[in-house]
Structure 1
């Protein structure tokens, strides 16, 4: 019988991953390591689920907040660990990112190494551990002398290094691209990342719409259902042991085309002129502008980084399971429709400072 421990619950991806894993492993027992601040919310999420228990903990503590009794029991029981807990905010201050993303992962690693029956450790990284690198980024590459656009990227990079350095641990590292809503329903938890395009377009809908610069770089987005399904498959694939996978779009669109498709779906018209991304970034340096548009200025940088993420390793393994990444043009209508239906939902807006 599989005993699965997961961090990051009741976050959106962890919640969806829990349901997907329960479908695959009907008799598995799940332990969810949940921060005290999320305990009530987590319990609400699992009230109709069997074989799922919430344990209060904190990944920034060396003991993870577990009692000695819990640690002894878990060492004997846990077969799979899925580590999703992290600070994902592009504007996160360095000390917070370091404590949660790096120290937290170090503590999870120590716990993983203590398990007597571990079958798989799945660590959620990000494709953007590539930092400011340009050109083709391979799944086998990590420490390439890169610098970073923000503390989120840098601390996820540091965390991935210490996972890769684990000896005799059957890990699988997941590097997602920028994640958007469900390809079929459009559902998402937060309007961040690419959704900032929709927020800006909403604000300027009555004026002639500009492109954000040339937009000739590739902009890599993936729907969360592909990410979840791929993670479940890789967590059980022998070929995935001690491997790293880019869960990115193997055929991404240029930023300009992605922007145009969103504009056409949201406003029913195409952009007709071009504004410099530097000018947009300068405007977003002002707090009142960020709050007006509901956008972090750090997001603009991803529209001008000439990077291509090689996903050949992931593609080779996932095709055996019948899994392929949907093309953005085939689901853009679904994510824009969901945005239009929920654009006023305060719970889906990100906090802008």
Structure 2
């Protein structure tokens, strides 16, 4: 078992790595590396996995078979699930020959050999060259046992497969920058030693007796200074990779908060947009989410989805080309090279929705930063109560947001923002030393096509693309902002301010009835002024 230190590589090891890189300076391009290689992907039907498949098909026309792990659900045939996946807009550019390279393999992530039958397992062992492991439970507060089985044991299953492959060229693990959020200061591109042994945690997950009367207090005793089970198990998974994959061509990519795509395979692709901080943006566009929590000066470390995929593809090339003694770690983040504060984010999204309003919204989209009791009061008065009232026309007329009612979005939003409060209330800094170094090794053509340098992002333009992407891909509206959209915004803006007048008259009517005109007017002005300030 490899020993993980807290000090990273020695000076001699770094010097040897630099010399090896100089010796291999004239190596091939990224597309040349992936030519005719067969890929195995976990999490291929998720947001990241979908973009990864599209990018592999788009930039590697000579790629071999892309095997996608698909869960065997009773009501869904795996071939049908892949067919539905390939019907998405980002795959419309590909012909049938290219799409036929995407092949489902039915299995369960945490089972031994994924539960594959012998024929499927042998085919993968014989043919697969590159593994991309992106499957995970991304809910911050999943039950600890679920998080261990999915995030940790699932990683062990991919490691076991990697070691069986006859021709392993690269193994890439999609981790998260948050896996070390229990640390302070500059977080470097190294694996931080976990407080628990990953093997002990996997054994614990299989022992039913350990989970009898398992309380939140017991969970907190285990995860300790980690904010949730997600970051805890992702850190354990990285430790497992260090122990198991030293000497193998392995890379770990740590993205921060993933938003829509910057450019590839389509500008502003947002997937189903119902998870993570991107879900907040979807609710904001329709005027449902109108408040944020966190420190104004905190950096909101967002990153375009295609930057994450580009870095993952590059790391597959890098791990498979340069001799590595241990897994190479990079951050795919923006805070150090192109910081965006929460205050700036609020200004940008408010200005962006003015330029690109949707076809309709339930309230004028406008988000403001609030904290403490002010946030809670606003949330229940102007989020929950309107959502309760809006549920009636939603059910009667079928209007609203896809998949969920406004009230359901409120519940999801509240849980999601509470989970994100931890990250938005502190300053996390992520070193990009490895990432920037590896960028310099790429061919000029690869640097342009597989760009993941966040310093090149214009955040205002990026949010514009995401909002248009939400309209086009999620809400199924037109991607073009027309004069009608602008007129709709102006009319609704007038209605919005008329609403303040109606609110005052309503409050004044009640106060005047209860306390008389003079006292009622003063009291109504005070209450109205407080609500407007709120």
TM range (shorter): 0.7 to 0.9
Count of residues in correspondence between the two structures:
342
CA contact (8 A) 1:211 1:271 kept: no
Note the C-alpha offset of 1:252: 2.2
The match for 2:43 is: 8
Between 129-138 and 270-279, the greater mean CA deviation after superposition:
270-279
Distance verdict in 2 for CA 1:213–1:179, change over 3 Å? closer
More helix by share: 2
CA contact (8 A) 2:291 2:368 kept: yes
Distance verdict in 2 for CA 1:121–1:282, change over 3 Å? farther
**One of 200, 222, 227 as aligned partner of 2:303:** 222
**One of 91, 109, 114 as aligned partner of 2:141:** 91
**One of 327, 334, 352 as aligned partner of 2:465:** 334
Find out whether 1:42 has 2:129 as its counterpart.
no
Between 2-11 and 189-198, the greater mean CA deviation after superposition:
189-198
CA contact (8 A) 1:132 1:305 kept: no
Q: Please list every run of 5 or more consecutive structure 1 residues that lacks an aligned counterpart in the other structure.
A: 346-353
SS at match of 1:253: coil
The match for 2:312 is: 231
CA contact (8 A) 1:43 1:54 kept: no
Note the C-alpha offset of 1:200: 5.2
The match for 1:192 is: 275
CA contact (8 A) 2:332 2:435 kept: yes
Please give the alpha-carbon distance, in whole angstroms, between the structure 2 residues aligned to 1:279 and 1:13.
35
Note the C-alpha offset of 1:35: 0.9
Between 218-227 and 25-34, the greater mean CA deviation after superposition:
25-34
Between 276-285 and 240-249, the greater mean CA deviation after superposition:
276-285
Note the C-alpha offset of 1:258: 1.6
Note the C-alpha offset of 1:263: 2.2
Distance verdict in 2 for CA 1:214–1:9, change over 3 Å? closer
Please give the alpha-carbon distance, in whole angstroms, between the structure 1 residues aligned to 2:83 and 2:279.
31
The match for 2:494 is: none
CA contact (8 A) 1:234 1:318 kept: no
Q: Which has the higher relative contact order, 1 or 2, with Cα contacts under 8 A spaced 6 or more apart?
A: 1
CA contact (8 A) 1:59 1:104 kept: yes
Q: What is the correspondence of 1:297-308 to structure 2 with a 5 Å cutoff? A: 297-308=418-429
Note the C-alpha offset of 1:15: 1.9
**One of 83, 107, 122 as aligned partner of 2:157:** 107
The match for 1:248 is: 333
The match for 2:90 is: none
Runs of 4+ aligned residues of structure 1 deviating over 6 Å after TM superposition are: 268-273, 281-285
CA contact (8 A) 1:230 1:318 kept: no
SS at match of 1:148: coil
Distance verdict in 2 for CA 1:216–1:141, change over 3 Å? farther
C-alpha root-mean-square deviation of aligned residues, in Å?
Answer: 3.2
SS at match of 1:165: helix
CA contact (8 A) 1:221 1:252 kept: no
SS at match of 1:13: helix
